[in-house]
Each structure stands twice: as structure tokens, then as C-alpha cells.
Amino acid sequence: MTRLTALNPEETTGKSKDLFNAIQGKLGMVPNMMRTMGSSPALLEGYLNLSGALSHGTLGAKTGELLALAVAENNACDYCLSAHSFIGEKLVHIDINTLNNARNANAADIKTDAALKFANILVNKKGLVNDEDVAAAKAAGLSEGEIGEVVGHVALNILTNYFNNTAKTVIDFPEVHAVAAV
């Protein structure tokens, strides 16, 4: 059972209504996570702004989706695993094997693999990475800007993972569950 309520976009007013209208116009729907975040327009706007800014980064949509899956698996967030598996397959056109490998922070491409592994290190070490962790990411071909973007993606996905795990958001995508639920 959910802990926080998903707002009905048809009945919402003010800033949340404006944000819902923008989301509806872009996605054709307002996903339950965003409907639930709508109780705090500041939170929803902050999420949308960071997500939008990172979407224009050098890592690209594919790597962004793979990072989201690695972080969601690490945080046992079924909502985010479900959403990003769907988005990755249907909208970004990533094959199922690649999506499943990303959940374990593995990728065939050396640079993507390094980004996923660095993301998991960030999560596991609560951001307290060491010189060797950063050096390994650089040695695999990640620029300093890309390392910064990985940190940004991890922060964004921790936000959504923690939010959905707190809210127990109703999953409105084909369901995917974490392998090792906490």
C-alpha cells in the first residue's frame, strides 16, 4: 500500500498543475512518481530541472538509462527499475541483455562499464570515493566532466529511488523487481 498520495492531474491546481501540464505535453502522461512528487512542487520542479539538465550532458540518454538501472538495483527501487527498463527498451532502444547487465553495473563498452562501476562505488561508499576510484574511471576514458555527470546521475537516481521507496509509489510500468531486495 502506498504511503504518499499520487495527485490526480485533473484536480490539481497551482504550480503542480503547471508542471503536470508540461509533463503531459512532453510524455503524453504523468507517471505516478511525478504525480506523487506533485505534493511538493519544489521537489517535482527540482527533479525535472536536474533530469532535464543531465539529459543534455555528454554521457547521453543510453548511458543515463543504464546508470539509472545500476543505481536502482543497488537501492532496491522496483519503481525505478520498472520505469527505466521500459524507457531503456521502448524509448532509447537498448536491448534487454544490456539493460539486465547494467543492473549489475556491467557493460560491454569499456567506458560505459567504467561509468556503471563508478556509479556503484559512489553509492556503496556514500560518495566518499578515493583517488584510485577516480583514477580507474579516468583510465577507462571518462573525462572529468563525464565523471561529474556520473555523480549527477547518481544523485538524481538516489533522489528518485529514496522517494519511491519512501512513498511506495504504485508502479505504472511493466514491473521489474530488484534481485536482492532490502
Amino acid of residue 134:
V
**Domains delineated in the chain:** 14-55 (no CATH), 60-167 (1.20.1290.10)
Integer Cα distance of 150 and 10 in angstroms: 36
* Per-residue pLDDT reduced to its tens digit, 60-115: 999 999 999 999 999 999 999 999 999 999 999 999 999 999 999 999 999 999 99
CA distances, 179 to each of 66, 104, 144, 155 (Å): 16, 10, 32, 22
Residue 106 φ/ψ region, left for φ over 0, alpha for ψ in the -120 to 50 degree band, beta for the rest: beta
* pTM for this predicted structure: 0.96
At 180 the pLDDT is: 66
Grid cell of 111 as nine digits: 567506458
